[in-house]
Amino acid sequence: MLFSRFAIWPALLAGLVCLGAGPVVRADEASITVDLAHPGGPVSPTLYGIFFEEINHAGDGGLYAEMVRNRSFEDAQGLSSWSVVSDGAATAKLALNTDSPLNSRNPRSLKLETSGTGTGRAGVANSGYWGMAVTKGHSYALSLYARREGAGPDTLVATLESPSGDVLAKGRVSGVGTEWKQFSCKLAAKEGAADARLVISPTTDGAVLLDQASLFPKRTWKGRENGLRRDLGNLVADLAPAFVRFPGGCFVEGDQLANASRWKESVGDPAARPGHWNLWGYRSTDGLGYHEFLQMCEDLGSEPLFVINCGMAHGGVVPMDQLEPWVQDALDALEYALGPVTSTWGAQRARNGHPKPFALRYMEIGNENGWGDTLPLYEERYARFYDAIKAIYPSVKLVANVPVSNRPMDLVDDHYYNSPEWFAGSVGRYDKQDRKGPRIYVGEYAVTSGCGQGNLRAALAEAAFMMGLERNSDIIEMASYAPLFVNVADRKWNPDAIVFDSATSFGTPSYHVQKLFARNRPDLLLP
């Protein structure tokens, strides 16, 4: 496999020159001699993987197949994505309600009051994440919690509708009482639309309260409940990732410690997950949580690489004498993945539908912590995590954000964002790396200037850089491009590997380079 890569290398370099400007000039002929008698070292089997971060609506409104936005009414703008629907003389009024909540973790619900329903329709609509893509012939699973006030309506009609009001699918739920109860129905689409909406309308006048209104396509990737969007899951699977780093990124740190990612809040019943503010500018439902990531890795046949918050955020640091709960979070996360069903968190994993342990062998201690003046703060926290984890899970490989001096490092995480010229000129960056140092994980890299929204020039420069990683894979164990996803309606970072909207998706040239290398990884190097 390596022969073909070296054979096209002069053409790749010529391509980088030609794409810059001016006429196409034929590259000088080159000859390559391959020494079959003296093979070099093996190429790391985990070299090419992916890095998922909740950025650009990569999860909520992306890979996570939930179609309803602000499903539990906990967004800062509590009624965002919800609006009144009324036809004829019927009217509706919406208000947030905190009386008798569904649970303490999601204290707000929607109070919908209707009148005049005998002369028309009144209700509430959700527009989803910039429109709901409904496909003709497909079915969608609606679930919601509801209760009525007094003699309020006991039956709700649910429809999927096009922007012009055409009904694409219809269902109903009955038996709404005065106590919270979960209801569900199937919506089978007779027609399709890329920008549909969900409408919920009571059949009689009065007040009804709604919470955790959720809509999923019946066909999720791998058929999982609370699962992944099928086309995006397939694009990820086509990358053949050896590992998946999750859930971030800066998402793990948070802008403040109060908004840090805490995995315990992301497991169990989605209706009882509180969600949290995401520093990338929107609220995360945490519906795509720790368990779902582990399940995704298993379905992909990929190694999970879980990033734990080490008590450091963009705008705060946990004092060392208050760090123990954060260290315990790391130990409990490992027990959730690896522990027997007789353990506390192993039992929780089993209750969540996976009695067999997950194969978690990598954990990263923090994200981009320890750079510059924060190195001493990171080093003492890394040491605390290292000692606690290795005492119980000595075989778990720990990734440090930066080189530290007070404890061993199984891997150290390098990040690079730069120009095409920098990447093409950095092919030999690791050629003289100290072979006695820690193994390296190039956790984030991408051309981020002179690349439009992802172009061939960037992809070729990244390919050059990746050949240098491959050649040095005696010390480089893992590498992952970043970011993985972008919803075109919320591009916080540019460029990205996979581009999508509610209905369509495609890979940029960088995506196809990642796919090419990962699906054609050589077994060993030849001089």
Condensed to tens digits (0 to 9), the pLDDT of residues 52-77 reads: 999 999 999 999 999 999 999 999 88
| DSSP structure class, residue 425 | T
Catalytic residue among 303, 368, 470, 477: 368
Other CB atoms within 10 Å distance of the CB of residue 341? 14
DSSP per residue, 204-232: SSEEEEEEEEEEEES--BTT-TT-B-HHH
State how far the Cα of 41 lies from the Cα of 372, in Å rounded to an integer: 35
In three-state secondary structure terms, 391 is helix
* Bridge partners of residue 439, in order along the sequence: 411
What pLDDT, on a 0 to 100 scale, did the predictor assign at position 375?
Answer: 96
Residue identified by tokens 């497991």 is: 267
Cα angle value 41/42/45 (rounded, 5°): 155
**pLDDT score for 22:** 56
pLDDT of residue 23: 64
Quote the pLDDT of residue 3. 39
What spatial distance separates the first Cα and last Cα of the chain, rounded to whole Å?
14
Sequence letter at residue 359:
A
pLDDT of residue 14: 47
Query: With a cut of 50, which residues of the chain have pLDDT below it?
Result: 1-21
The Cα 495–Cα 499 span in angstroms is 9
* 200-232 exposure pattern, b = at least 16 Cβ within 10 A, e = fewer: bbbbebbbbbbbbbbbbbeebbeebebbbbbbb
What's the rounded Cα separation, in Å, for the pair 218 and 225?
9
471 phi and psi angles, rounded to 5 deg:
-65, -25
The pTM (predicted TM-score) of the whole model is: 0.93
User: What count of other Cβ atoms lies within 10 Å of the Cβ of residue 263?
Assistant: 22
368 belongs to the catalytic site: yes
